[in-house]
Chains A and B, each alone.
Chain A
Amino acid sequence: DAGVTQSPTHLIKTRGQQVTLRCSPKSGHDTVSWYQQALGQGPHFIFQYYEEEERQRGNFPDRFSGHQFPNYSSELNVNALLLGDSALYLCASSLGRFGGLGYTFGSGTRLTVV
């Protein structure tokens, strides 16, 4: 039973570029949340997708956008990359919007902006 799968695992981008990160939720899960974890920090909530719509959003600029597909997989897009966007991006899936207890995290995508 596969858990949460994120791709790619590592990525290096240049300032100003755009990036797309991908997440496949755990089998049976329908909700995807994205978190950003900067070095030495805890994860910070970016947004949550349920039924292909953004349901909640954290304190992140509009440069961060996402999408959820009918198969529940999700993408996180970041435009106009800044050096400060360098972080580990974690995807977490759950069953239902309020499934915090059942959150399963992926291993993350390490994004480095140079």
Chain B
Amino acid sequence: DQQVKQNSPSLSVQEGRISILNCDYTNSMFDYFLWYKKYPAEGPTFLISISSIKDKNEDGRFTVFLNKSAKHLSLHIVPSQPGDSAVYFCAASVTGNQFYFGTGTSLTVIP
């Protein structure tokens, strides 16, 4: 059972434009959400997080939005840069328990 889904396996965006990566989840008990970025031959690296008491969290060019009623999470990258090209995973947990990951979205930023 895939509790966290990323329905877009890939996304291409022009440099300087906005990248929007989406994530849906099924478990309404999830209260903590993360986005990770992964380059080839490296482990995932933490990007940004949000707890269920918020609906938005911003860190520089990265903003995560949480819509609890829709069980939907999105990551906005503005402006997109070629170095942002990587696979992005969203992950969710009930605080204190294991994280469930989506299958990832491969982002390509075209110079």
Interface, chain A (partner B; CB < 8 A): 4, 33, 35, 40-45, 48, 56, 58, 90, 92, 97-98, 100-108
Contact = CB atoms under 8 A, between A and B. Distances in A.
Contact of B34 (A56, A58, A90, A100): A100
B43 A108 contact: yes
Interface in B53-91: 89, 91
A74 B34 CA distance: 24
A42 B102 contact: yes
A42 B4 contact: yes
B103 A90 contact: no
Nearest to A101: B49
A42 B98 contact: no
B52 interface: no
Contacts, number: 54
Given A98-B95, A98-B96, A42 B43 contact: no
Given A45-B99, A100-B34, 7 more contacts: A42-B101, A42-B103, A45-B98, A98-B95, A100-B32, A106-B43, A108-B43
A97 B46 contact: no
B96 to A, nearest CB: 4
A56 B44 contact: no
A43 B42 CA distance: 13
A41 B104 CA distance: 7
Contact of B43 (A40, A41, A101, A107): A107
Contacts of B28: none
Contacts of A44: 101
Nearest to B92: A100
Nearest to A57: B98
Contacts of A106: 43
